[in-house]
Amino acid sequence: MEHFPIRTDLALESRERLEADKDEMRGVIFEEQYDEKRNVTITKVKIETENGAKSIGKPIGTYLTLEAPDMAVPDEGSHREVSEVLAEQLKGLLGETIESVLVVGLGNREVTPDALGPEVIGNLYITRHILREYGNYAFPDKKVAAISGIVPGVMAQTGMESLEIVRGIIKETRPQCIIAIDALAARSVKRLGRTIQLADTGINPGSGVGNHRKGMNEETLGVPVIAIGVPTVVDAATIVYDACQDVDKIPNGIAGMFVTPKNIDETVKNLSYTISEALNMTFELNF
């Protein structure tokens, strides 16, 4: 695939590309485990050095990928199990008890493949206002984090960078950490709607479709940022290349086009519940 650009937001796929090309991967640690009971494969790509970051094309940090074949199927039982695994991994990344968190739903609610973030916020149990009103009496039997949520929209709707909006909210509410939810682009169509990536490096809104916005990370926001993303689109040029294995046969007009599954509406809806339930579990909201 020499000279052919691979567009992917998944660190796992970037690592697979290097392995296929037999490129050097110093400074990159890879681990994989399979949860047989819950049918979820968990992989960790940990980038430890600048050389590793340059090879993978992503910042230094930890990237966890959850892959479950049944994730795109409307099955409440299997989704519950994925939520449990996601909550466990998220707690591991956070590394401490969080008392206040701001969940940011990135994306455009009007464009279905980009609506994951707003949909998660719509399903999330928000608690900050309840705790401010009633204190510990609101949840007497458990310790619950103060959860707030925001859907900042996209620049075409607001005229503002998502970073600017979130920075203002942080100044007023002072959360301990940010959880940013966004749709991603994958290299493989098999991973669409069946993969969840967690990263402790933050996120660049719009990067999956080449629409780079200012990054949300600890450096730009002043608090730790955990990114949760699900691939909902794949580059059309990649699909054509996989079919013909010839870069010269890729039409010029196909550049910048992205493909999404025909059942993306249902997939985004199901995954938004899976992720919001995992967040509720993480911050001690078990129903």
- In tens, the pLDDT along 147-205 reads 999 999 988 899 999 999 999 999 999 999 999 999 999 988 889 999 999 999 998 76
Name the 3-class secondary structure at 92: helix
217 in any annotated domain: yes
228 in any annotated domain: yes
252 in any annotated domain: yes
State yes or no: pLDDT of 267 exceeds 70. Answer: yes
115 in any annotated domain: yes
Residue 217 token pair: 């990370």
Q: Which of 211, 206, 197 is nearest to 275 (CA)?
A: 197
pLDDT score recorded for residue 271: 93
**Contact call for residues 213 and 162 (beta carbons, < 8 A):** yes
153 in any annotated domain: yes
4 in any annotated domain: no
Full residue range of the structural domain in which residue 26 is found: 11-282
179 in any annotated domain: yes
| Structural domain count of the chain | 1
164 in any annotated domain: yes
Q: Which tens digits make up the pLDDT trace of 60-96?
A: 999 999 999 878 677 666 688 999 999 999 999 998 7
Q: Which tens digits make up the pLDDT trace of 11-53?
A: 998 888 777 655 567 789 999 999 998 889 999 999 999 988 8
Residue type, 132: R
Q: Which of 1, 3, 52 is nearest to 30 (CA)?
A: 52
Q: Which tens digits make up the pLDDT trace of 97-149?
A: 899 999 999 999 999 999 999 999 999 999 999 999 998 888 888 889 999 99
**What's 171's domain CATH number?**
3.40.50.1450
Q: What is the per-residue burial (b if ≥16 Cβ within 10 Å, else e) of 27-65?
A: bbeeeeeebeebbbbbbbbbbeeeebbebbebbebbbbb
